[in-house]
Amino acid sequence: MKIYEIKTPLTYDQIVKLNAGDKVNLSGIVYTARDAAHKKLVELIKANQTLPFDLQGQVIYYVGPSPAKPGQIIGSAGPTTSSRMDPYTPCLLAKGLKGMIGKGTRSQEVRQAMDKYKAVYFAAIGGAAALMAKCISKVEVIAYPELGPEAIHKLEVVNLPLIVINDLKGNDLYEMGQRLFEKE
């Protein structure tokens, strides 16, 4: 397992070298979106309307940040369960999304779409929301402010610590760990 320093937007050349289990320090622009925002994005795609941001090469972090305390730019920013976005993810991958950040496993349909559209899935550190927030240097709501913390935010991140769960080779770190455990 290696540690990679990667900047967004993601390119094929950046992500093809990643393997399940590798650590990544991600810097650049990352967008937030949870269930309600995903639904709205897919509705726009199906209606051939313009999205609030270009998905090409982008990363979506499944997070609904808590309100910022005085003197902070953002509150806690820990990952939410990724499977809740699975019904919408293949459509977004088809439009150029290259990375997703969350926690937990992905459906077979999403994994097939990641393979088809050459995208990766990262896990963020669960239970360390305050630590994750320290990696965010700038926050701007860019769409759906009526959704409150589930609005789409444009985040500028610096060395956001992630682990590759699903790579371009079809590997899944959760399955790899389970097989290793079963051998013992």
| Residues with catalytic function | 38
Which of these, 161, 153, 118, 164, lies nearest to 10 by C-alpha position?
Answer: 118
User: Rounded to whole angstroms, how far apart are CA atoms 30 and 157?
Assistant: 7
Tokens of 91: 């459509």
Tokens of 53: 């941001």
Tokens of 54: 């270009």
Judging by beta carbons within 10 Å of its beta carbon (0-12, 13-18, 19+), is residue 167 exposed, middle or buried? buried
User: Rounded to whole angstroms, how far apart are CA atoms 182 and 178?
Assistant: 6
Assess contact for 154 and 142: CB atoms under 8 A. yes
User: Rounded to whole angstroms, how far apart are CA atoms 93 and 165?
Assistant: 17
